[in-house]
Structure 1
Amino acid sequence: MRINEYDDRDRERIVPEPPKRVDAPVRTAFERDRARVVHAAASRRLAAKTQVVGPQSDDFVRNRLTHSLEVAQIARDLARALGCHPDITETAALAHDLGHPPFGHNGEQVLDRLGEPCGGFEGNAQTLRILARLEAKTFDSDGRSVGLNLTRATLDACTKYPWLRDAPGTKFGAYADDVPVFDWMRDGRSDRRRCVEAQVMDLADDVAYSVHDVEDGVVADRIDLGRLASAEERRAVWQTVREWYLPDAADDQLEQALAGMQSQASWPTASYDGTRRSLANLKNVTSDLIGRFCGAVQGAMLEAYGTESFVRYRADLIVPEQTLVEISVLKGMAAHYVMRSDERIETMARQQELLAELFEALVDRPDRLDPAFARDHAEAVDDAAGLRVVIDQLASLTDASALGWHRRHVVGD
């Protein structure tokens, strides 16, 4: 890997920083970025935010923080293998879920609807807002917060969707009032192409939650891989795969993907029973599938590009079609057996109602906001800006604190 292929513009920060003390540990700019994300308050809050199953429901299942750590490990290893900077890519992975609100994607949908008058809500746009504004560390000469003041290359790698909002319900990477930092980060680029480090982070996220959501579902006794021996059962799962991820996928294509994964020697041949042996077998198939997916991508990249270093916009990640389908099959299993369960649907409805009620309470009484957000609200230039601050506050809450705020500000009233 040729680290010197990252130049001074890649290492530039919004607010220039003086050299560190001579007696301080010598770290690169990108190593400092990683440390800032690790130590951020927003990172700590991820430990109490839903991944798939609520973090309070079981000691084993993943939360947003443990998921982010696993994504970071996959992203770092893949980056090292491909020749892009492992610190940049790992930092992007550690930061990729910082903008998620309480109750996972369910909470994201509620805030998007409630925030329509100020431009909606998107977890990835909120991540940029946290990194470049809301997380307290650095201020510019005008007294405005610039968040963690990350380098351009790292901030760009954290941006999964490098464009503004097209329409309600669509993915995007920046709100209208964050355009100045977005334009600085993109450094004159007007297209939607992602840097390769962001592409590696995105793939690592897909790989991690596809295999780990199935693992969590198996351990929580919601997924039994043995049921897939039934053709009828598989057809039901394939329908979910099409509805959620691959609308044009044919049954035989999905069957082939499943068969490919089942060919792994570690694929379970017996139902999970909670013993150490059974858990070890499950861990082994998880590890083997991660290696299978990342190995396929590494092979495709080497075939296409040779051994050149994949830095920023000098390459695009190549993910073989078979790998994409296999990942989608795993995600479809989790969607079919976990996300679509009657219990989860009822829980999600209660969560939506709770967030909507709390939103109304804070809009009516902005003095209830935390001090930092109350200051932002007092300085808001119009109603839309004030509404954005309420959304910022709600997005910062964990699952548990959202419940506590609701009891205090809604039920208590």
Structure 2
Amino acid sequence: MNDTTYDPAAEARWVPEPDKRPGRTAFQRDRARVLHSAALRRLAGTTQVVAPMRSDFPRTRLTHSLECAQVGRELGAALGCDPDLVETGCLAHDIGHPPFGHTGEEALDQAAESCGGFEGNAQSLRILTRLEPKRFAPLDEEPARLAPWPGRSVGLNLTRAALDAATKYPWPRGAHPTDPGSTKYGVYGDDLPVFRWLRTGAPADRKCFEATVMDWSDDVAYSTHDVEDGIQAGHIDLAALRSAEERAELFKIAERYAEAEPEEFGAALDRLQAEEWWPRAYDGSARARAGLKDLTSKLIGRFCLAAEQATRARYGPGPLTRYAAELVVPTGVRIECAVLKAVAVRYVMQRDEQAQLRSRQRIVIAELAETLTRTAPYGLDPVFAALYEEAEDDRAALRAVIDQIATLTDASALALHGRLVTPGP
């Protein structure tokens, strides 16, 4: 499939540029730019559920993004989206996540309070449109059109549709359509010009169809793969999932991800456990590993097929793109997915050693932010030192420091902390 079902506005770039290699679609170019970016490669060293350096087996943010992209590409294609466009949104959706995963995100949000806070999704947009150097605005460009200033970096200069497909929360901080206190948002105040551009013609607060496919693919990928990793590592005792006491605790966690009663969560878990492909035990043997892979495959197929069929039942055949539809996921399937997320949280993320590790990670981020703010531009990479020097005020200077920390991997954050905060003799 090509991108001929998308209009010129969807294929427009913030800064117009010719294609150096005719024959490719606009969205094939977008996909290549994200795939070859340093920001995506960095995710190989960034926590998904557990720290990447603590074991050989866990998934990282990069492997999660690649798996999300594969799920999203196939689901999007089945519904008539351009597959390269959906894959681009999936590859880019976590590109702004900082070191130490959500722990790092929370710590950076505290450190960045005086400059507008930190949110991984808003940071993704910032990276794609400003921080990942690929294209620059012409020096003679009128500032009124590009809004920030002539000659500035415009990041990867992706198409409007690709940026929109990667936008999970299309509103700024405090503007959640139903929950103003929500910590989830997709753009910082100083990135509003490009956000307004990419959302031209979009219904207020509504995700584009490709973003809803990306969002569900994200849920499917991490709920199934995190459980697979937890079982293989021995953290998840399959027998415990049949204990009434354990199930009660699980369902309290599941309430974070779906609005349902304990009986509904119980029925969802029962449905999964009743399937012939659900493992009854895991001993690490080759046969058990194959069964575990089959579990993941069956769950992904179950969740994606349910969404595809429900969406088609509402909208009928034909390509579904941009704002022509919204992905429909049956309630029972969402509840099943929520239960799996709860399993990963309770048995993998809430382990005692993980809690101790997260406490140390918060300290590392807080001390890095304090030290770099006090000593900058010393300690900043050239790109961020230049942004710091160009800053118009203290808020912009702090944002440059936060940007620097957010681009680190887990290992490089620890190394920089060791060099700047706790240097050796």
Which amino acid counterpart does residue 151 of structure 2 have in structure 1?
G
Which amino acid counterpart does residue 8 of structure 1 have in structure 2?
P
Indicate yes or no: 2:184 matched with 1:171.
yes
- 1:362–1:368: 8 Å Cα contact kept in structure 2? yes
Q: Give structure 2 stretches of 5+ with no counterpart.
A: 139-149, 175-179
Counterpart CA distance in 2 for 1:3 and 1:241 is 38
Instruction: Look up the match of 1:245.
Output: 257
Instruction: Look up the match of 2:404.
Output: 393
Instruction: Look up the match of 1:257.
Output: 268
- 1:61–1:216: 8 Å Cα contact kept in structure 2? yes
Instruction: Look up the match of 2:162.
Output: 154
- 1:264–1:285: 8 Å Cα contact kept in structure 2? no
Indicate yes or no: 2:197 matched with 1:200.
no
Q: Report the Cα offset of residue 25 of structure 1.
A: 6.2
Question: Which residue of 70, 75, 80 corresponds with 1:78?
Answer: 75
Q: Report the Cα offset of residue 408 of structure 1.
A: 0.1
Q: Report the Cα offset of residue 263 of structure 1.
A: 2.8
State the number of aligned residues: 407
Instruction: Look up the match of 1:97.
Output: 94
Greater CA drift, 102-111 or 161-170: 161-170
Instruction: Look up the match of 2:287.
Output: 277
The SS at the match of 1:179 is helix
Instruction: Look up the match of 2:5.
Output: 5
Counterpart CA distance in 2 for 1:240 and 1:191 is 31
Counterpart CA distance in 2 for 1:395 and 1:266 is 40
- 1:124–1:160: 8 Å Cα contact kept in structure 2? yes
Which amino acid counterpart does residue 355 of structure 1 have in structure 2?
I
The SS at the match of 1:56 is helix
Q: Give structure 1 stretches of 5+ with no counterpart.
A: none
Greater CA drift, 72-81 or 299-308: 299-308
Q: Report the Cα offset of residue 239 of structure 1.
A: 2.1
Instruction: Look up the match of 1:353.
Output: 363
Give the fraction of aligned pairs with identical amino acids, expressed as a percent: 56
Following superposition of structure 1 onto structure 2, how do residues 40-189 of structure 1 map, counting pairs within 5 Å? 40-141=37-138, 142-166=150-174, 170-189=183-202
Post-superposition Cα deviations, 1:283-337, rounded to whole Å, max 9, x if no partner, equal: 1011000000001011101111110211100001111000110000000011111
Post-superposition Cα deviations, 1:163-185, rounded to whole Å, max 9, x if no partner, equal: 01006761110000001100000
Q: Report the Cα offset of residue 275 of structure 1.
A: 1.2
- 1:235–1:251: 8 Å Cα contact kept in structure 2? yes
Counterpart CA distance in 2 for 1:239 and 1:94 is 31
Post-superposition Cα deviations, 1:256-304, rounded to whole Å, max 9, x if no partner, equal: 101221232211022x111111111001011000000001011101111
Counterpart CA distance in 1 for 2:201 and 2:335 is 35
TM (norm. structure 2) is 0.93
Post-superposition Cα deviations, 1:106-147, rounded to whole Å, max 9, x if no partner, equal: 000011111011100000000000000000010002210000
- Structure 1 residues 224, 147: closer, same or farther in 2, change over 3 A? same
Counterpart CA distance in 2 for 1:264 and 1:199 is 28
Question: Which residue of 263, 273, 296 corresponds with 1:286?
Answer: 296
Greater CA drift, 98-107 or 55-64: 55-64
Counterpart CA distance in 1 for 2:379 and 2:319 is 51
Instruction: Look up the match of 1:325.
Output: 335
Question: Which residue of 357, 373, 381 corresponds with 1:363?
Answer: 373
Question: Which residue of 318, 327, 345 corresponds with 1:335?
Answer: 345
- 1:2–1:309: 8 Å Cα contact kept in structure 2? no
Instruction: Look up the match of 1:307.
Output: 317
Counterpart CA distance in 2 for 1:189 and 1:85 is 18
Counterpart CA distance in 2 for 1:307 and 1:245 is 30
Q: Report the Cα offset of residue 338 of structure 1.
A: 1.5
Q: Report the Cα offset of residue 240 of structure 1.
A: 2.2
Q: Report the Cα offset of residue 412 of structure 1.
A: 1.1
Post-superposition Cα deviations, 1:335-372, rounded to whole Å, max 9, x if no partner, equal: 11112111111111100011101111100111210000
Q: Report the Cα offset of residue 5 of structure 1.
A: 2.1
